[in-house]
Structure 1
């Protein structure tokens, strides 16, 4: 007669990994929002360049693209990820101040890039348009990120 002892290992609960953790959902929300920002930035650039409000004299593949694809496909998603990270750390009042400060900085960067010859605006362009455009863009990107995050969690 054989007596079989039950293994102590069988008494341990097997922990199931969640298929999509909260951290994975947050990373996915960052990626989706960066793609969304890139998509919006690309179409805004195409619209404004097409209507001759501004142009990119120095850009890669200038024979093919009228916009600077390096910025819209690489720079903008990276900057969006940093923006989302810092926005997540701030309270509501600081978020508003942060958006205003970043919009001012981007407007100044835009003016500096004109001095370097990377960017040209139409003679009638006012840089206040850029400031309000950046504010509006960042608010939309932040709202999109929060919406995606709420769906995924």
Structure 2
């Protein structure tokens, strides 16, 4: 009985089974990461809204939810999915610079959301907390994705 193995230096493509497995693994890694990001975002919102640091005056189902579930369950995961695609293609230093830029974008978006009445902070909250908080949030989610990908 002889066993045939794929040579590492061979120019022949690897089997379809491996490609299929890698594709499914990649999809599950993305899905797991955006679900994790959604959970973390939801629980942080519940904690901070519960502490009275900020509020969502206009939100879906206000009689049921104290947080904006549209943001934590739809917008945040989609935003982070796009960020993952970009982060994968960057080296370490540009990756962290990009995360700082994304944090600045969220900082500006929160300020705009406040002006449109979608978001309100207490007098104790400084928007700089959001800048730093989102940067840490992005790093945690990226590290989770990297851990799953290994």
Counting only pairs closer than 5 Å after superposition, residues 35-54 of structure 1 correspond to structure 2 as 35-54=35-54
What is the distance in 1 between the residues matched to 2:27 and 2:41? 21
Asked which structure has the greater CA Rg, the reply is 1
What's the counterpart of residue 69 of structure 1?
69
What's the counterpart of residue 95 of structure 1?
95
1:27 is displaced (CA, Å) by 1.3
4+ residue runs over 6 A deviation: none
What's the counterpart of residue 119 of structure 2?
119
What is the distance in 2 between the residues matched to 1:59 and 1:84? 27
CA distance change for structure 1 residues 16 and 136 in 2, over 3 Å: closer, same or farther?
Answer: closer
What is the distance in 2 between the residues matched to 1:82 and 1:94? 16
What is the distance in 2 between the residues matched to 1:19 and 1:93? 31
Unaligned residue ranges in structure 2 (runs of 5+): 1-14
| Larger RCO (CA within 8 A; separation ≥ 6) | 1
Question: Any idea what the Cα deviations from partners look like across 1:20-62, whole Å, max 9, x if unmatched?
Answer: 5212211111100000000000000000000000000000000
What is the distance in 2 between the residues matched to 1:16 and 1:49? 49
Counting only pairs closer than 5 Å after superposition, residues 2-151 of structure 1 correspond to structure 2 as 17-18=17-18, 21-150=21-150
What is the distance in 2 between the residues matched to 1:92 and 1:77? 22
1:16 is displaced (CA, Å) by 6.5
What is the distance in 2 between the residues matched to 1:28 and 1:37? 14
1:85 is displaced (CA, Å) by 0.5
1:17 is displaced (CA, Å) by 2.7
CA distance change for structure 1 residues 23 and 65 in 2, over 3 Å: closer, same or farther?
Answer: same
What is the distance in 2 between the residues matched to 1:110 and 1:46? 17
TM-score, normalised via structure 1 length: 0.85
